[in-house]
Amino acid sequence: MSVILETRQISKAFGGLQAVHNLSFRVQQGEITGLIGPNGAGKTTVFNLVMGTLKPDQGRIHFKDRDITGRKTYQIVDLGIARAFQIAQCCPGKTIFENLELCACSNRLFSRSKYPSAPILQAAEQAGLTSELEKLPGMLPQAGLRRLEIARAVATSPDLLLLDEPFAGLTSGEIGALSRMIQELRDQGMTIVLVDHNVRSVMRLVDRVLVMSFGQLIADGSPGKIVADPMVQQAYLGTDHV
Q: What are the pLDDT digits (tens) for 58-103? A: 999 999 999 999 999 999 999 999 999 988 888 999 999 999 988 8
Residue 42: name the closest of 232, 210, 226 by CA. 210
d(CA 2, CA 18): 31
pLDDT at res. 216 = 95
pLDDT digits (tens, 9 = 90+) for 93-146: 999 999 998 888 766 554 545 445 888 899 999 999 999 999 999 999 999 999
pLDDT at res. 236 = 74
3-state secondary structure the chain: CCEEEEEEEEEEEECCEEEEEEEEEEEECCCEEEEECCCCCCHHHHHHHHCCCCCCCEEEEEECCEECCCCCHHHHHHHCEEEECCCCCCCCCCCHHHHHHHHHCCCCCCCCCCCCCHHHHHHHHHCCCHHHCCCCHHHCCHHHHHHHHHHHHHCCCCCEEEEECCCCCCCHHHHHHHHHHHHHHHHCCCEEEEECCCHHHHHHHCCEEEEEECCEEEEEECHHHHHCCHHHHHHHHCCCCC
The gap from C-alpha 43 to its chain's centroid, in whole angstroms, comes to 11
pLDDT at res. 27 = 98
pLDDT digits (tens, 9 = 90+) for 36-60: 999 889 999 999 999 999 999 999 9
pLDDT at res. 64 = 97
Give 11's contacts (C-beta < 8 A, 6+ positions apart).
18, 20, 21, 22, 23, 56, 57, 58, 59, 215
Partners of 60 in the beta sheet? Answer: 8
pLDDT at res. 84 = 97
pLDDT at res. 107 = 60
Parse the chain into domains and list their residue ranges. Answer: 1-80+158-242, 88-157
Where residue 240 falls among pLDDT bands split at 50, 70, 90?
A: very low
Percent of the chain whose predicted confidence (pLDDT) is above 70: 93
Q: Which of 100-104, 121-125, 174-178, 210-214 bottoms out in mean pLDDT, i.e. has the lowest? A: 100-104
CA dihedral (121, 182, 165, 73) in degrees, to 10, reads -60
Average confidence score pLDDT of the chain: 91
Fold of 1-80+158-242: Rossmann fold (3.40.50)
Where residue 197 falls among pLDDT bands split at 50, 70, 90?
A: very high
pLDDT at res. 116 = 58
Instruction: State the CB neighbour count (10 A cutoff) for residue 233.
Output: 16
Q: What are phi and psi of 169, to 5 degrees?
A: 80, 5
Please, are residues 219 and 231 in contact by the beta-carbon 8 Å criterion? yes
pLDDT at res. 87 = 85
pLDDT at res. 23 = 98
